[in-house]
């Protein structure tokens, strides 16, 4: 502690340089934490899924629907205890700049199968009894200022026309991967408006035992193998993971950019530390003359580098941890449950320690190895 004044005085020698160095480290680690949080949030979303839920899609691809008639046949299979279905609607609100997901769902069965969607009983009842009603996530309330009982009109992008819904309920998700910015409405109303096409985007199949998942999935796919719309059934987790793998290259890109930013900042910090040490060649020689040992001078320079790197890291990582929850960030709806994970903070702190070592080592070694006589000759 008694050397603290010496360290602080040296950091205050060029205040602007120290501030800019700390700011650059803070920015780098803020970006690192943000980019890594995108990938961890996506990975967490891929882990979402009840062990007792399967998802059945059209084997050709997600954009191709399945006949509604499949429902009863799936429900009749052994091991199936519940069934629901949904359709991606793709409606937009206002100028469409604020994207949010909206689905047509079979309301009663959907809410039964997803206990993660918490809806007050009276609102649930109102929704079930209102064919043109909708339920919205709580984020949409703060985002658009919508209220219970209010009519909202979406413009259909896939299914043309204006679609007006009355807000009957506001839900709160117990799992962030569900997303709190989704609007769901009745599939029956949807089907009627599109001329009773009788289609479902995907089925959600509840099974009696997670151990039966492969058997039930095979049974479903075998049942429709030779039909006009063959199916592909998997666990809900596999379904989510398939979305995450679509982002695979993005994750790689995020990680690469994050590392590149940190490396660039490392060079800036190292340069600042080297300049600082070079400017003080004479002073270091004087300290050696006074009796400061090589080891002590090495430690003091490392502490300076550490103070810059760790202060910057604390600001950058702290800002990321505080800022995103404060602004309720969810990546325009694409990153529900976005948060800076503890693992990201730990890795960020390790990066800061690495930064300290990499930027401080060379100047610290130079200070420790400085030949006093030659250095004094330069200043005298």
Partner 1 sequence: MALVEIRDVYKSFQREEQRIDVFTGLTLDIDAGSFTALMGPSGSGKSTLLNLMAGLDKPTSGTVTVAGSQVSTMSPGQLAAWRSRNIGFVFQSFNLLPVLTAYQNVELPLLLTRLSGSERAERVKIALDVVGLADRAGHYPRQLSGGQEQRTAIARAIVADPTLMLLDEPTGQLDAKSSQEVLALLQRLNNEFNKTIVIVTHDAHAAERAKTILHLEKGDLIEKPRMAAVGR
**What residues make contact with partner 1 under the rule CB under 8 A?**
2-3, 5-6, 9-10, 12-13, 282-283, 286-296, 372-373, 376, 379-380
- Residue 300 beta carbon to partner 1: minimum distance, rounded to whole angstroms: 10
Of the two residues 59 and 286, which places its CB atom closer to partner 1 in the complex? 286
Of the two residues 227 and 374, which places its CB atom closer to partner 1 in the complex? 374
- Residue 9 beta carbon to partner 1: minimum distance, rounded to whole angstroms: 4
Give the whole-angstrom CA distance, residue 144 versus residue 156: 18
Give the whole-angstrom CA distance, residue 246 versus residue 255: 16
251, 39 in Cβ contact below 8 A? yes
Give the whole-angstrom CA distance, residue 119 versus residue 169: 7
Report residue 116 as tokens: 């993660």
The DSSP code for 201 is S
Of the two residues 8 and 260, which places its CB atom closer to partner 1 in the complex? 8
Give the whole-angstrom CA distance, residue 44 versus residue 351: 23
Of the two residues 106 and 304, which places its CB atom closer to partner 1 in the complex? 304
- Residue 289 beta carbon to partner 1: minimum distance, rounded to whole angstroms: 5
- Residue 319 beta carbon to partner 1: minimum distance, rounded to whole angstroms: 29
Name which of 160, 162, 159 is nearest 151 in CA terms: 162
Residue 61 gets the label, from left (phi > 0), alpha (psi -120 to 50) or beta, of left
Of the two residues 317 and 375, which places its CB atom closer to partner 1 in the complex? 375
Residue 69 gets the label, from left (phi > 0), alpha (psi -120 to 50) or beta, of alpha
Of the two residues 5 and 228, which places its CB atom closer to partner 1 in the complex? 5
- Residue 264 beta carbon to partner 1: minimum distance, rounded to whole angstroms: 29
Q: List, in order, residues 6 or more apart from 51 with CB less than 8 Å away.
A: 210, 213, 235
């Amino acid at each position: 502690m008694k050397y603290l004044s010496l360290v602080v005085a040296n950091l205050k020698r060029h205040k602007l340089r120290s501030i800019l160095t700390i700011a650059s480290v803070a920015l780098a680690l803020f970006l690192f934490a943000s980019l890594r949080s995108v990938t961890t949030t996506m990975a967490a979303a891929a882990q979402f899924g009840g062990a007792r839920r399967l998802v059945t899609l059209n084997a050709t691809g997600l954009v191709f629907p399945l006949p509604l008639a499949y429902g009863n046949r799936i429900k009749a299979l052994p091991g199936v205890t519940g069934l629901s279905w949904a359709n991606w609607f793709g409606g937009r609100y206002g100028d469409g700049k604020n994207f949010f997901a909206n689905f047509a769902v079979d309301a009663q069965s959907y809410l039964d199968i997803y206990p993660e969607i918490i809806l007050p009983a009276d609102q649930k009842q109102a929704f079930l009894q209102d064919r043109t009603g909708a339920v919205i996530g709580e984020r949409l309330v703060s985002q658009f200022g919508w209220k219970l009982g209010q009519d909202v009109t979406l413009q259909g992008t896939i299914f043309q026309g204006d679609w007006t819904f009355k807000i009957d309920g506001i839900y709160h998700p117990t799992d962030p991967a569900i997303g709190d910015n989704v609007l769901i409405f009745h599939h029956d109303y949807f089907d009627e408006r599109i001329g009773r096409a009788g289609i479902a985007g995907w089925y959600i199949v509840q099974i009696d035992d997670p151990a039966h998942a492969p058997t039930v999935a095979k049974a479903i796919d075998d049942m429709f193998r030779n039909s006009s719309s063959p199916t592909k059934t998997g666990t809900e987790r596999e379904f989510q993971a398939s979305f995450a793998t679509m982002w695979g290259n993005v994750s790689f890109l995020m990680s690469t950019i994050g590392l590149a930013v940190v490396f660039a900042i490392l060079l800036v910090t190292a340069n600042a530390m080297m300049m600082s040490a070079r400017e003080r060649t004479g002073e270091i020689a004087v300290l050696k003359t006074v009796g400061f040992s090589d080891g002590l001078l090495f430690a003091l320079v490392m502490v300076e580098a550490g103070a810059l790197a760790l202060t910057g890291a604390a600001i950058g990582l702290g800002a990321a941890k505080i800022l995103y929850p404060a602004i309720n960030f969810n990546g325009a709806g694409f990153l529900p449950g976005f948060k800076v994970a503890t693992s990201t903070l730990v890795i960020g702190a390790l990066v800061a320690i690495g930064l300290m070592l990499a930027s401080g080592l060379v100047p610290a070694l130079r200070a420790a190895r400085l030949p006093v006589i030659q250095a004094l000759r330069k200043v005298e």
